[in-house]
Every structure is written in structure tokens, then in C-alpha cells.
Structure 1
Amino acid sequence: MSTSASASPSGHRAYEDSVRLDTGGVVTGLREILGAQLVAYLGRVSNTRSVREWADGSRAPGADVVQRLRTSYYVAGILIERESAKVVQAWFQGMNPELDDQSPATLLRTEPLDAVGPKVIAAARSFAAGG
């Protein structure tokens, strides 16, 4: 994931990358920021081998998982523009007051993406803006 100086604070670059990259690129970028275990959790698998296979293209996740990973990549991209990978990991896993004290990772893994995706993105934008 690029963290160039020209990246916009609103996450436009992260959004564009989340749409344009193939699944392997999304998984690789997420793994660099969040680590393989958290990506496996978001991808609804119990082992990191699946994450490695998704990244190298030898196995493909289902369409629903791909959308969850793309949304997670977008959220991670918003945050990594201003925060370290450690902070982004903690943000994904911690209880978030803007999300009724639920963790973004749990919501992205378990809830209908069309309902929870916009809420998690808004919470990430708020955190990145310092609020």
C-alpha cells in the first residue's frame, strides 16, 4: 500500500487501490499492514496458509470474502496514511466507541458488509482526522 506524500487525507488513493488491485494485491497489502493472522480472521479462515495462497494466487477466496478484504484494505489505507501499522492493527482489533464499542475487525468479519462497511469507513475517517 502506498503511503506517498500525495495521498489524500480522505482516502481516495486507498479506495482506488482497493478497487483496482487484484485479490492477491489486496491480500498482500493487508498482510503488510495488519499481519497474516488478522487478515485470516477478516477472511473467515482459521489459518494463515490460506492468506499466503490468496496472496500468491494459488487459491481464491469466495466473492463475499473478497469484498470484505477490499473494504478492509480501504479502511487500512485510510488509517495508514497517518498512523503506523501497529496503531492500525490496534484500531482494527480494539473496541471502538463509534461502532457501539465493537471492534472493526469483528464487524467486518461477521456483519452484512453493506450495513457495516460504511460505518467502519466513517469511523476510520474520523480516527484519521483526529476525532
Structure 2
Amino acid sequence: MTAAHPRPDLAAYNAAARMSQAELVTELRELLGAKLVAYLGKVKETRAVRQWADGTRTIGNDVDVERLRIAYRAARLVTERDTPQVAQAWFQGLNPILDDRAPALLLREGDLADVGPLVLAAARQFAAVG
């Protein structure tokens, strides 16, 4: 492995850890679309997503921020190989690696300490297999 091509999951982790909330939401919205980001952020309308991206509104709590950071990392893994449309479908589709549960639903409803690593592992596997 060369230093010029770090592991995609490590690059996504480093980027997610350094981003402001506004940068994170802007990037995630480009990858997944405003509706899916709103769903993951547990808000009812895309207006909140736009306000987060504009920096005129902050995300409610640290758990919601962490959920979006994990979603960003997973989305980056998928989009390293595929299009944002594939990433959107991946997040919403029933995933056999996740016991036929959708990654977006797991992230939204599950305990991040439990489901975060599962979703990231499923994204790594999807990205590796293609």
C-alpha cells in the first residue's frame, strides 16, 4: 500500500473528523441528497438540512452529529467506486449483510455504538466487491 493512496475508509474518517457541521452536511447532501440527510438527521424537512449546510442552524445534539459523520464515512466508501445514486440506493435498500435491514434505518433508529460499526463494515464490503 502506498502513501499516495491511503485506505478510502481512513481518508473518509479523517475528512469526517475534521469537518465543521456545515461542511459535513454540505458534503453528505451532495452524496445522498437532502431528503436522506434529513431522515438521517431526524428532522422532518429538508429546510433544516439547508440551514445546517448554510451554518445558520446547528444540529440538535452530538449523537445526531455522530450519526451524520458515520453516514458520511459510509457514503464516501460507496461513492469511491459508484455514483451518489448507487450510494442513495445502498442506504435505503435491504442489505443482506445487515440482516436485510436498510443502513439508513439502522443508523436512524439503532444505538450508534452497535450499528455504526456494522454499517461501516457493510459499506467496506460493498465497496470492495463493487
Fold-level similarity (TM above 0.5): yes
One-letter identity of the residue aligned with 1:126: Q
One-letter identity of the residue aligned with 1:95: L
Identity, % of aligned positions: 52
SS in 2 for 1:11: helix
Instruction: Name 1:13's counterpart in structure 2.
Output: 11
* Unaligned ranges ≥5, structure 1: 1-5
1:73 aligns to 2:79 (yes or no): no
* Unaligned ranges ≥5, structure 2: none
Instruction: Name 2:107's counterpart in structure 1.
Output: 108
Calculate the aligned-residue CA RMSD, in Å: 1.2
SS in 2 for 1:49: helix
1:127 aligns to 2:126 (yes or no): yes
Kept in 2: contact 1:7–1:13 (CA 8 A): no
1:33-78 superposed Cα distances (whole Å, 9 cap, x missing partner): 1000000000000100000111111111121110100110111111
Kept in 2: contact 1:40–1:51 (CA 8 A): yes
One-letter identity of the residue aligned with 2:39: Y
Instruction: Name 2:84's counterpart in structure 1.
Output: 85
How many residues align? The count is 126
Runs of 4+ in 1 over 2 A off after TM superposition: 6-10
Kept in 1: contact 2:9–2:73 (CA 8 A): yes
One-letter identity of the residue aligned with 1:101: D
| Separation in structure 1 between the aligned mates of residue 13 and residue 96 of structure 2, nearest angstrom | 24
Instruction: Name 1:32's counterpart in structure 2.
Output: 30
1:118 aligns to 2:94 (yes or no): no
TM-score normalized with structure 2 length: 0.93
Kept in 2: contact 1:40–1:48 (CA 8 A): yes
